[in-house]
Chains A and B, each alone.
Chain A
Amino acid sequence: MSDRLRTARLVAVGLLAFALFNFPLLGVFDIDTRVAGIPLLWFYLFGAWLLVIGLLTWITRAR
């Protein structure tokens, strides 16, 4: 992967993370309910976090 493309992809993931971790998107999951025994808001934030880390891993490790 060219350096320019890698940089662009990383910045794009950063923007995605900023959107996922902030309002108003956060408000969608601000409901008092449980997913697999875990409060939805907590489940969503940790899930989104893991997703972002997964993307970062994929982008930085791709050849």
Chain B
Amino acid sequence: MIDIRLIVVVSVAYLGLLFAIAFFGDRRADHHRSVISNGYIYALSLGVYATSWTYYGSVGRAASTGIGFLPIYLGATIMAAGWWMVLRKIIRICKQNRITSLADFVSSRYGKSALLGGLVTVVAVVGIVPYIALQLKAISNSFSILRGDPALATSIAGPSAPDPPLLTDTALYVALVLAAFTIVFGTRNLDATERHEGMVAAVAFESVVKLVAFLAVGFYVTYVMFAGFGDLVGRGGGDPDISKLFTFGTSQSYGSWLWLIVLSMLAILLLPRQWQVAVVENVDERHIKTAIWVFPLYLLLINIFVLPITVAGLLRFGSDGVSADAFVLALPLADSQPALALMVFIGGLSAATGMVIVETIALSTMVSNSLVLPVLLRRGDALAEDNLGPRILRIRRVTIVVLLLLGYLYFRVAGDALELVSIGLISFAAVAQFAPAVLGGLYWRRATRRGVTWGLSAGFVVWAYTLPLPSLAHAGLLPSSFVDNGPFGIELLAPYALFGLDGLDSVSHSMLWSWLVNIGLFVALSLTGRRDPAEHVQASMFTDSSGRVDRGTEARLWRGTATVGQLEVLLARFLGADGARSALAAHAARTGADVSPDAAAGADLVWHVETLLAGAVGSASARFVVASVVDEEPLAVDEVLQILDETSEVLAYSRALERKSQQLQQATTELREANERLQELDRLKDEFVSTVSHELRTPLTSIRAFSEILADNPDLDVSERGEYLQIIVSETERLTRLINQILDLSKLESGGAEWEIEPVDLGQIVESSIQATAQIFRDRKVELALAIPDPAPTVTADRDRLVQVVINLLSNAVKFCPPETGLVQVTVTANGSGSPDAADDMARVAVRDNGPGVAIEDQVIIFEKFRQGGDTRTNRPAGTGLGLPISREIIDHLGGKLWVQSTPGQGAVFTFTIPLAVVGSHVTAEGGAS
């Protein structure tokens, strides 16, 4: 349908563009102007998670299980939320120890074990090669569909056509071009950080291309070929085969859904390509923060049109035999949109190539550093070489070619037997075997090498027996009776129903058994075994909560003798003479150490060299080669423990100190505040005492003066004597009143007063108060106006105290009213209408006078003890100055408020509120007026 030459030209042009971008990225990195130092680019490079499995396979899976393709992306989203905790810790550890692959991470965590690194590498390679094959297959088949090959027109992944002759097979050429790309940008030089900026830039670009292409075809299918989501769903709803995709359905189980979520949570962290872009290629750990939300958003966008495309494909092709894996490409072709189809093809090419490139780089680092080099170095002849750098790069290049050819071989041999998704899931299950080693190693200090080695090996064997092996039977390489009846007819060993456990889908079944033995052995052997010194050191370093490594401890744990010259020669073998010299010079500049060839190397220099080498050859090999030139005294376990204990003890002490000092500071602040309060109270008390004594002295002085006059002048006439005696009596009364009020106030303030709270009739209170003050009103000829509603409100209060308050307010009002024209109005209302601060369940009593009023500045102080309004020295009103403070205390205690409103010259209104009695309670008989 599309001219093959056009397809080839466009594909080659696209790959050429990738080369250009990668080249540009590397150039910029060489000039220290990174193009990838950006959170969004980092997130896009993580998009390598979406391979052709996503691109073509999501629709394929959706066509058979509906929503069942989605857990792969939901799980990744869940894990993204944990990145800030887990991924950041891994990145810190890897940067500080120059760990450049997953295999090296596991090896390093468990005492720099070469055996373990090799084991992880083998598991990764065996687990991932089918996944690479899957990508090659997707490219090859989409190519065939695009060019309209009649034999292949119906399928991307299904059991399709006979294999084309080798020399015309697209997949082979694709594999070779990808190998070239990966070699050029993945193994440019032997760098201690193993970062490939150009490659990352190209991968991020590919993420954009595949997203745009998928959204474009999704948009076209949904809104041009059909009239939107609703239209597609509406039409599909008529067909039971399609409408069953709208619900969970019976084609999958809750258990397998959960397993898919868990598998993808782990895959997003443990797949070698994800590890490569997320950990090794990370420029700055702060980029994680952006990726945490951008990456899930990317996954959401690339999945949003899966349902419409699936439904559209099923509606359009029905039972024409077009494989659902091919819908994405077949729909635009069927609608005569060759340009769009070509774009879709390029998008799929992006998805596949991005995955293959990153995956092979990651695997080649593993194979060279964790599998080949440890063997070469132990054989001894490699150490004799002057410069090993080019040789290591050669190993990696060969590895890349071999991996791609292996992928191609798998594709030729077994590729037709499986659909895209199942191959991907087999790989997911393989890397899930790393979960106990990596996550356990990060958070569980006791995890041991023995536990990991046995657990991982056993888990791997069970995985291989229960997932890829039966798939070989599907491909016809093994008799199918092997799957159905078990090997040699032993049903208990049937790979899809091990020990008779059937009813699960193959992935859940495999995960259950493999994790059971993997985690089981990991935990059991870790809990029963012992750890050697190297394991102790690495374990405490990796499990430290911050992920930061204490270099001091590391250096103290090394004891041996070596010269700087020996170390330089060693470095030169791997990094070249120039690299070695500049590395040593940099170290000297930073620490001021003597780096002349004959000087003795300090522990930190040895550690530094070992770390540098770890970046190039892996930590286990680095340990080995450093040990080969350095005379080391082995450390005994108890020595190691002592040093580690000391370090952690000091840490614990300092943390405890910090906590204590914080507590102390807090206590000090509290004490200071309490002290200030006390001082203030003390000052108030002094003031009070001095005021009281002053107030007491005034009547006493006059009593004394008049008594003395009477005593000295016995011959005073009777009228004069009577007058003096009257003064003495009234002053004594004033004194008594004053003392009573002081006692009253102190009782109120100390809470010692007795209260009889009960429902009382407010009208009766006011009336009895008026009776008590009637005499003063008459004396001063002041008029009294009374407004009490009928029935009067009932309030909860202490009767006598409330009467005391009203009397006080009335006598105050009278006192300040002008004689003859004075008018006092008392108003009782049932609720607080007219005042915003009175609630509805309050009664309110207002006492208004037409006296001089209270100046604004006095409106607060008149409620303080012994403070009266006006200029107290010249114009002292009668009274003790305690009436209002006592009234306020009482009203406060009863739950009300007392305040004054006044405009000077126009009288004053004293108002108080008091809680109404609960509705229904009655004024009792003894509540009558006294």
Contacts and interface: CB of A to CB of B under 8 A. Distances in A.
A41 B246 CA distance: 7
Contact of A23 (B233, B243, B254): B254
B304 A46 contact: yes
Given A38-B233, A57-B293, A45 B70 contact: yes
Contacts of B75: 21
B80 interface: yes
Contacts of A37: 228-231, 233-234
B74 A21 contact: yes
Contact of B246 (A18, A26, A36, A42): A42
B77 A60 contact: no
Contact of B290 (A22, A30, A60): A60
Chain A CB within 10 A, most for which of B70, B81, B261, B307: B81
B85 A7 contact: yes
B67 A45 contact: yes
Given A10-B82, A37-B229, A45 B74 contact: yes
A50 to B, nearest CB: 7
Contacts of B292: 10, 56, 60
Contact of A21 (B84, B261, B297, B304): B261
Contacts of A7: 84-85
Interface string B279-303: 0000000000110110011001000
Nearest to B546: A3
Interface in B66-87: 67, 70-71, 74-75, 77-85
Give the size range of A's interface with the partner: 20 to 34
B248 interface: yes
A27 B257 CA distance: 12
Contact of A52 (B81, B233, B247, B258): B81
A42 B78 CA distance: 18
B233 A13 contact: no
Q: Describe A's contact surface by its main secondary structure.
A: helix
A21 B228 contact: no
Interface residues of B, number: 38
B81 A13 contact: yes
A14 B79 CA distance: 7
B82 A14 contact: yes
Contacts, number: 102
Contacts of A50: 300
Contacts of B297: 53
Given A22-B261, A41-B247, A56 B78 contact: no
A39 to B, nearest CB: 4
Interface in B391-423: none
B300 A46 contact: yes
Contact of A42 (B67, B71, B84, B228): B67
A11 B78 CA distance: 9
Contacts of B261: 18, 21-22
A56 B230 contact: no
Interface in A20-63: 21-23, 26-27, 30-32, 34, 36-39, 41-42, 45-46, 49-50, 52-53, 56-57, 60-61
B429 to A, nearest CB: 19
Contact of A60 (B71, B243, B254, B289): B289
Contacts of A32: 243, 246-247
Interface in B672-688: none
A56 B299 CA distance: 14
A10 B228 contact: no
Contacts of A21: 71, 74-75, 77-78, 261
A17 B81 contact: yes
A45 B69 CA distance: 12
B296 to A, nearest CB: 5
A27 B293 CA distance: 27
Interface in B114-143: none
Contacts of A61: 289, 293
13 contacts: A10-B83, A11-B82, A21-B77, A22-B257, A27-B248, A30-B247, A34-B233, A34-B237, A41-B246, A53-B293, A53-B297, A53-B300, A56-B293
Interface of B: 67, 70-71, 74-75, 77-85, 228-231, 233-234, 237, 243, 246-248, 254, 257-258, 261, 289-290, 292-293, 296-297, 300, 304, 307
Interface of A: 6-7, 10-11, 13-14, 17-18, 21-23, 26-27, 30-32, 34, 36-39, 41-42, 45-46, 49-50, 52-53, 56-57, 60-61
Given A39-B233, A39-B307, 14 more contacts: A10-B81, A22-B261, A23-B254, A23-B257, A32-B247, A34-B233, A37-B230, A38-B229, A46-B304, A49-B77, A49-B300, A52-B81, A53-B296, A60-B84
> Closest 5 A-B residue pairs measured CB to CB?
A37-B230, A14-B81, A39-B246, A57-B293, A56-B293
